[in-house]
Structure 1
Amino acid sequence: MKTNFPALIEAQSLVKIGDIVGAESALATMAETEGDHALVAALDEFPAKDLLAIIREYDTSKESLVNLLVTPEQFAKAVVLEKRYGDLSHEQLRGMINSVIFREGADPAEFLYEIGELDGGYDALVDYLSERTKRVEHFYRYGTFDLFEYGDEVKTQAIDDDLMNLSGDTDASLSPQDMANVIDHDWMEVTYILRFQLPELFREVLLKLRTRYQNSAQALEDAEAEMLAKDEDDEDAPKNEKEDKGDEEESAL
């Protein structure tokens, strides 16, 4: 790796041997000796996969200098690679996104926009929200995350055709409870920002969420049908064996 920053070479070597704490410490030391701007510039040369290895090991009990200084562009390049870890729960993805985009002084919408601009960015955001599909859909239609509330249906209920012409100017109001809950530095706030600040990105993410949810539901339905058919075959088997035995005995007589 050609670089004017020896600390990057050290950090990359430490990532390769699995010493994530040491790698982060090397970068932090660089910022302390050469300044924050030097670290930000250096991260442009740092491989996205190695940056991801550091960021995804966030620790909520302490501040990470890398998380505090990484730019939206640098962060986006790392986020789209997270799927390589095969984390089906996507908890690490949620944690690292929340820890960076909601840091003090950051503009979450800028980070989300940069993620959406990259190949794989939509899928990363879908992974982030995949466990909340029903509530994201409900929020889109009724302006509330509470599945048992429907807001002002005449005013806020959205139809599918509206999704294709979605804008940030929709006159939809949140209930006082949702307005209080939406500032959660988590998936609700992300959904709100996507819906009202990045409507085109929200549209694509919601369409993908719907497709994934429908595919999952269909797969579950097929599995249940297959299991039911197997149970029916198992119930019929003894009966058929008994009939075959009876036929054999009658033939012997």
Structure 2
Amino acid sequence: MAAPRSILAATLATLGLGGCATVVPASWKAVPDGAAMADAYPGFASHAGIEGKASLVCQSGIDGRLSDCRVEKVAPLGLGFDAAALKLTDRFESNPQTRNGALTASEVAFRVVFSLPPVDTVQPWEGPEPSAETLALAREVAPRFTPGLRQGPRAISLDGLDADRVEAVQAMIDGLEREVRPQAIEAVATAMARTVSPEDLRGMAMGRRPTRPNLTDEQLDRAGDKAKALGLRANERLKALYCAAYDCSDAL
């Protein structure tokens, strides 16, 4: 799942007025953009579709930069949202507080909210379905081209997990992989049979590389609709397994 996947909410702390001084609280001049938020999003939480929040307190200097940041609260625990929020603090820049017109340092409190966009709809294959013979050839080749859930470009990451949860989550992923692998092989076989000629499939069985199909990128993308749908279901299943074992509430 690549692309910006987060929304930032930030609320400045209420600052008291001292004596008759005129105080203008600090305000945001710059905040992390969507790409920075997506890059900081903890890997496992992203794959499992778990959202989170972190409340921070920082010092805002007269140069507008934040320093001495600390996490006051984070939810859910154990997924790395606290470290991710701290990683983003150098992307914030404030219009410093002023007192009687003079720039002054101040303390600011704000919240970073990590949320995910709606899941893209899987676009179905619209071309002809392969013959039984072609599908049988693809099934012979597909197991070698079906990565596990912790392999390949869409592998499930353990990034962000507390160390004492890694072993348990690895066991969840291993069990889920055993559960979905037969379906994954069939989904990959279907995509290959739709896009690779029988001649090329026979060549692949002997270790040769296939020629590029005479299809558009969109057609190639749609050919893998079953694999994509299965990946989404696997992520939902992983979230259910994880949240049955650990608290997934993002309430602060």
TM-score after normalising by structure 1: 0.22
| Structure with larger Rg | 1
Greater strand share, structure number:
2
Greater helix share, structure number:
1
